Amino acid sequence: MICFFIGHRNAPEALRTLLEKAVERHITECEVTEFVVGHYGRFDYMAAGAVRAAKKRHPEVTLTLLLPYYPFLHDTSDYDRTYYPEGLETVPKPYAIIRANQYMVRC
């Protein structure tokens, strides 16, 4: 099972605890083993942190970074893998994140 996070770049810090609980619940109750997150805002940062914390208790869990742009110039070493959806190379940059999110929702 895969869980994909979509959230606003200006998400409030109060969501951090809720995300940590939601990740744990998805692993233990929904049998999610892969989490996919973006890299462009506070929500993505908090979601990735929640998954990294859960990975300490559940080493079978993976964290995938969704890449809306190529080449991606940020460090990706904190992720188990990266994913760049097919067809994004023709999408104008202002629409790339939206199109990447749409791609993940359709999968």
Task: Provide the domain count of the chain.
Answer: 1
What is the 3-state secondary structure of 6-74?
A: CCCCCCCCCHHHHHHHHHHHHHHCCCCCEEEECCCCHHHHHHHHHHHHHHHHCCCCEEEEECCCCCCCC
pLDDT band at 73 (very low <50, low <70, confident <90, very high): confident
pTM above 0.85, yes or no: yes
Pairing mode of beta strands 2-4, 62-66? unpaired
What is the pLDDT at residue 20? 97
Question: pLDDT by residue (tens digit) across 7-16?
Answer: 888 999 999 9
| CATH code of residue 45 | 3.40.50.450
Q: Which domain holds residue 87?
A: 2-106
